[in-house]
Amino acid sequence: MCGIIGYLGKKDALPILEKGLERLDYRGYDSAGVSVLDGGSFNTVKKPGRMDNLKEALKQTSMPGSLGLGHTRWATHGEVNEVNAHPHWDCRQEIALVHNGIIENYRPLKEMLIKQGHVFVSETDTEVIAHLIESYYEGDLEQAVLKALPQLQGSYALMVASKKEPDKIIAARMLSPLILGIAKDGYYLASDATALVDEAALVIYLEDGEVAVIRKQGFEIKDFKGLIKSKTTSALSWSGPAVDKKGFAHFMLKEIYEQPEVIKKNIEIYTEKDTVDFSIDQRFFQDIDRITIVACGTAYHAGLLAEYMIEEIAGIPVTVDTSSEFRYRNFVPEAKTLFVCISQSGETADTLAGLRLAKEFGFKTLAMVNVENSTIAREADKVIYTNAGPEIGVASTKAYLSQIIVLQLLALKLTHLYRKQLPGFYYRYFTELKKIPLYLEKILAEAPVIESLAEELQKASNFLYLGRGINYPNALEGALKLKEISYIHAEGYAGGEMKHGPIALIDKELPVIAISPAGRVRDKMLSNMLEVKARQGKIVGIITEGDSDLMQACYKTIPVPFAEEHLSTMLVPLPLQLLAYYIAAKKGCDVDKPRNLAKSVTVE
């Protein structure tokens, strides 16, 4: 979950590390640190807290040198303080190291190293790696790293430099992402591509069990035995402006506003004359008896939506699991299963583990991923990109919508293959689908109304989100959005389940966000809302514009344009995101970097 960056080249390393860490700090922002090698010695600055603290400290110091390592931390082992911040050191402060991941056997290694006389200063698991490398160091850093790696259990992307070999960085990967960027001025290493945008035109994605040996005059990729591997380079398709705020107060708000474009883009890329084309051989989608979807958090909610869509229109049974449950429960595999994993980052540790398990079961595997060439995208049999562009705000918004549209298209593709629909079905579906970007623009125009509602509701200490049928997963998502960025407790519930417990919570203080656009369960939702109203509940309805019965049941409403039930799932998230955003912003929360979270969950 941490962000790591390294540079070796012709330029001064520090500005490159600073820029890279600013772009990576959504991966973790408990502390940040840099080390730059200047001739024979390292200069290091580390600061707990946000990147701004490090930047302030760096203003007081000059750090020349063209080899540097940087780190932004999401704390796992040891509290947030300067000592536990990376880079970490060996005893003699000759070897500097940054690490993303978890060393699971750090305790026995630490005990062994202490017995050998090594002195530890931090509580981190990472520090054992520096001392272990030191214990093998006999004048050749690469050899020392190659001897240390087989002893490490767990996950790591790491970068190491030694002041005795000032022209070298060694980097290694096991279960945590690591990318080498190749530029005219030198070599860049980073835990994800966002840090390399505009710096390196070409990149190499390291695989598990690979080591990069970087020198100013060239690089080699090797396996853990030191044997050279040949690798292909890829071009980075994202560009600089996409990772800037473009005048919005927060990345999250900018990303919310990008959603009409995201929908348009996916329709453009994947549809042609009322048919869906993922550029995947038709045979891949044939001969499927069951679909198993695995994902985490927001992506899991998109998976739940897909269950409703696919079962209803394509008639194929679907099961959906959170990745962390899927990987440890005794799942009973069935032949002819299509495994679908959904992930914005394409690096989520549990989802990746789920994918690897699915491959062991012999399933066909399909990844729906936003970040191109991420580990999940590379390891699945087939990948469908969701084309949301870089999502920097930690709370997922446009990536969620991009997952929903692509899953809708998958449902249509499967319907075409597995079920006969009435004449005109596809024509009607696609005609309505193409209106969604316009409808989203209409909802965005109402943002000031949602903002003033947020002003009223921001003091509430609990929220309940209710939905039914295909919009039930959106209730879960609405609650997740609010709790993660505003720290207000919120629960998502199926409207029909209210009487089985949560109705006891209703009083005149509790805001109830009732999701009830036009559709089959609208009347059922109305009954649930009236039950809440009868108990003086404060209902905010997300309803289809003009639905006067529902308006009467509500304290306030946020209308959305009329859309067919399945398509309404793409309209509902927008007001929920805006409500959460404005509440969090008004409370003064750090919307883009909520406490305790990180964008890419690369550890279990």
For ligand F6R, which stretch binds (CB under 6 A), given 221-229, 257-265, 345-353, 577-585? 345-353
Verify binding: residue 474, ligand F6R, rule CB under 6 A.
no
Pick 299 or 318: Cβ nearer ligand F6R: 299
The Cβ of residue 397 has, within 10 Å, a number of other Cβ atoms equal to 30
Q: How far is the CB of 394 from ligand F6R (least distance, A)?
A: 6
Rounded Cα distance between 159 and 94, Å, is 14
- Give the number of other Cβ atoms within 10 Å of residue 362's Cβ: 11
Q: What tokens appear for 391 in the block?
A: 């999502």
Amino acid code (one letter) for 160: V
Over the Cα atoms of the chain, what is R_g? 25
Structure tokens at 134: 């030191």
For residue 467, with 0-12 CB atoms within 10 Å meaning exposed, 13-18 middle and 19 or more buried, which class applies?
A: buried
Phi, psi torsion values for 226, nearest 5 degrees: 95, 10
The stretch among 296-304, 310-318, 444-452, 572-580 that binds ligand F6R (CB under 6 A) is 296-304
Q: How far is the CB of 341 from ligand F6R (least distance, A)?
A: 8
Binding positions for ligand F6R, 388-407, rule CB under 6 A = 395-396
Laid out side by side, the sheet with 489-494 consists of 489-494, 462-467, 511-516, 538-544, 556-560
Whichever of 348 and 365 has its CB closer to ligand F6R, that residue is: 348
Question: C-beta of 272: minimal distance to ligand F6R in Å?
Answer: 28
Our finding on whether 33 is near ligand F6R (CB under 6 A) is no
Q: At closest approach, how far in Å is the CB of 98 from ligand F6R?
A: 22
The verdict on 30 binding ligand F6R (CB under 6 A) reads: no
Nearer to ligand F6R, 400 or 429 (CB): 400
Minimum CB distance to ligand F6R smaller for 1 or for 498? 1
State which of residues 297, 354, 467, 559 lies at the interface with ligand F6R (CB under 6 A): 297
Catalytic residue among 2, 341, 554, 589: 2
> Is residue 296 at the binding interface for ligand F6R, with CB under 6 A as the rule?
yes
User: Is residue 58 at the binding interface for ligand F6R, with CB under 6 A as the rule?
Assistant: no
The stretch among 192-200, 286-294, 337-345, 580-588 that binds ligand F6R (CB under 6 A) is 337-345
Q: How many residues bind ligand F6R (CB under 6 A)?
A: 15
CB of 463 closer than 8 Å to CB of 579? no
- Rounded CA gap, 29 and 50, in Å? 5
Is there binding between residue 87 and ligand F6R (CB under 6 A)?
A: no
Nearest C-alpha neighbor of 354 from the set 293, 302, 301: 293
Q: Does 299 bind ligand F6R (CB under 6 A)?
A: yes
Instruction: Give the residue among 440, 397, 387 at the shortest CA–CA distance from 563.
Output: 440
Tell me the closest approach of the beta carbon of residue 274 to ligand F6R, in angstroms: 30
Give CA–CA dist 452/444, Å, rounded. 14
For residue 34, the Cα-to-chain-centroid distance in whole angstroms is 25
- Residue 2 annotated as catalytic: yes
Among candidate residues 168, 364, 538, 599, the one labeled active-site is 599
The helix/strand/coil state of 279 is coil
Binding to ligand F6R by residue 176, rule CB under 6 A?
Answer: no
* Cα dist from 353 to 27, 129, 257, 274, 358, whole Å: 20, 24, 33, 36, 9
Residue 391 CB contacts under 8 Å (≥ 6 apart), including other chains: 251, 255, 344, 370, 397, 398, 399, 599
**Smallest distance, Å, CB 51 to ligand F6R?**
20
Using CB under 6 A as the binding rule, whether residue 305 contacts ligand F6R is answered as no
- The CB-of-410 to ligand F6R minimum distance in angstroms stands at 16
Q: Assess 345 for contact with ligand F6R (CB under 6 A).
A: yes
Tell me how far apart the alpha carbons of residues 484 and 400 are, in angstroms, rounded to a whole number: 15
CB atoms within 10 A of CB 120: 16
CB 412 within 8 A of CB 426: yes
Q: How far is it, in rounded angstroms, from Cα 102 to Cα 310? A: 37
Nearest residue to ligand F6R, by Cβ distance, number only: 297
State which residue, 36 or 294, has the beta carbon closest to ligand F6R: 294
Out of 42, 601, 602, 603, the residue judged to bind ligand F6R by CB under 6 A: 601
Confirm whether 483 is a catalytic residue.
no
User: Binding marks (x or -) toward ligand F6R, 346..375, rule CB under 6 A?
Assistant: --x--x------------------------
Q: Considering beta carbons, is residue 564 or 590 the nearer one to ligand F6R?
A: 590
Contact region with ligand F6R (CB under 6 A), list: 110-118, 260-268, 297-305, 568-576: 297-305
Q: Which residues are catalytic?
A: 2, 599
Give the residues lining the site for ligand F6R (CB under 6 A): 296-299, 343-345, 348, 351, 395-396, 480, 484, 600-601
